[in-house]
Amino acid sequence: MIRRSFLHALGAAIAIGALALSSGASASPDTSDDAGGADVTLGRFFSLISGAKGQTRDRETLKTLFRSDAQFMYARRAGGSDATAATLPSPDSFIDVLVPMYERVGRREKPRWMHGDTKGDLAVIRVQYDWWDEGNAGKPIQGMKFVTLVRDGGAWKIAFMAWQDDAPSAELPASVTPAHAPSAQLAR
């Protein structure tokens, strides 16, 4: 089942890239000095979502890293059940749902490595990262993010992000299940 959800997410990422290219973005190879700018955008993302328990995150700056139509998917296999994927349909939903939780538990994320490709105004990057908070006593848990970025108005913006981590007991936040957030979708 996760394969179907992943394929839907991958299809969405490809569609977003195709839309960006068809809307006038250059399809020529990237030879500019800011070809690595997609990595810089992701570095800023990790920096902005990370912090001590109770530390307020800079939501306005975080929002500038996303396209207004960006989408997010959290894949999770919890309690031996079938894989599930919660989607957050906008940057506002990501910020409104996850950032308060990150502030409450003191979540920190740090990339272990990033690998990706760029073609013109499209970048696809895979990030392996560690995360920890006060709930896991600072013991890092590994995760993987797949991120599609589009150069939009000269800046690299996150258009799609899917992630999964290895936390054995982490559950989907109640606020991203259909019963609590009508705009979120839970796929099985």
The residues with which 116 forms a beta bridge, in sequence order, are: 125
Separation CA 60–CA 95 (nearest Å): 9
Residue 82, pLDDT score: 63
Q: Is 145 left (phi over 0), alpha (psi -120 to 50) or beta?
A: beta
Domain 2-187 has CATH 2.40.37.10: no
Residue 32, pLDDT score: 42
Beta carbons within 10 angstroms of residue 27's beta carbon: 10
Tell me: pLDDT of 120 over 60.
Answer: yes
Residue 145, pLDDT score: 95
Separation CA 171–CA 151 (nearest Å): 33
Matching residue, tokens 């940057």? 91
pTM assigned to the model: 0.71
Greater confidence, 6 or 156?
Answer: 156
Tell me: pLDDT of 123 over 90.
Answer: yes
Alpha helices by DSSP H, listed for 23-146, are: 37-49, 59-63, 91-105
Residue 105, pLDDT score: 92
Q: What is the pLDDT of residues 53-98, one digit of tens each?
A: 999 999 999 999 999 999 999 887 655 556 677 889 999 999 999 9
Tell me: pLDDT of 111 over 80.
Answer: yes
Residue 168, pLDDT score: 57
